[in-house]
Amino acid sequence: MPFPQRKSVRRAGIRRSAFVLAAISVALLSPVTVFAKTNRPNWNPGPPWAPLAPGSGEMLEISNLFWIMLVLSGIVFAIVSGVLIASAVRYSARRGQEGEPRQVFGNRAVEIAWTVVPTVILLVAFIATTKAIHDINTPSGGNILNINVIGHQWWWEFQYPSLNVVTADELHLPTGQNVHFHITSADVIHSFWTPQLQRQVDANPRQDNAVFLKVDQPGVYDGACYEYCGEAHAWMKYRVIVQSPAAFQAWAKHDRSPATGTAKGSHQSALVATGEKVFLNNTCVNCHAITGTSAGGAVGPNLTHLGSRWTIGAGAAPLDQQDLERWIADPTTFKPGVLMPQYPFLSHQDLHALAAYLLSLK
- Where do contacts with ligand CUA occur on this chain (CB under 6 A)? 151, 154, 190, 225, 227-229, 233, 236
Other CB atoms within 10 A of residue 216 CB: 12
Nearer to ligand CUA, 190 or 305 (CB): 190
Nearer to ligand CUA, 189 or 263 (CB): 189
Q: Name, in order, each residue with C-beta under 8 angstroms of 97's C-beta and a sequence gap of 6 or more.
A: none
How far apart are the C-alpha atoms of 215 and 173, rounded to whole Å?
8
Give the nearest distance from C-beta 101 to ligand CUA in angstroms.
56
Give the nearest distance from C-beta 252 to ligand CUA in angstroms.
26
Nearer to ligand CUA, 61 or 227 (CB): 227
Give the nearest distance from C-beta 261 to ligand CUA in angstroms.
34
How far apart are the C-alpha atoms of 135 and 212, rounded to whole Å?
10
Give the nearest distance from C-beta 154 to ligand CUA in angstroms.
6
Cis ω before 154 (30° cut-off from 0): yes
Query: Rounded to 5 degrees, what are φ and ψ at 78?
Result: -65, -45
Nearer to ligand CUA, 183 or 356 (CB): 183
Give the nearest distance from C-beta 230 to ligand CUA in angstroms.
7
Nearer to ligand CUA, 229 or 340 (CB): 229
Nearer to ligand CUA, 237 or 288 (CB): 237
Axis-axis angle for helices 57-91, 108-136 (nearest 10): 160
Q: Which amino acid is at 107?
A: N
Q: Which run of H or E residues covers position 174? A: strand 170-174
Radius of gyration of the CA atoms of the chain, in A: 29
Instruction: Specify the 3-state DSSP secondary structure of 202.
Output: strand
Give the nearest distance from C-beta 200 to ligand CUA in angstroms.
11
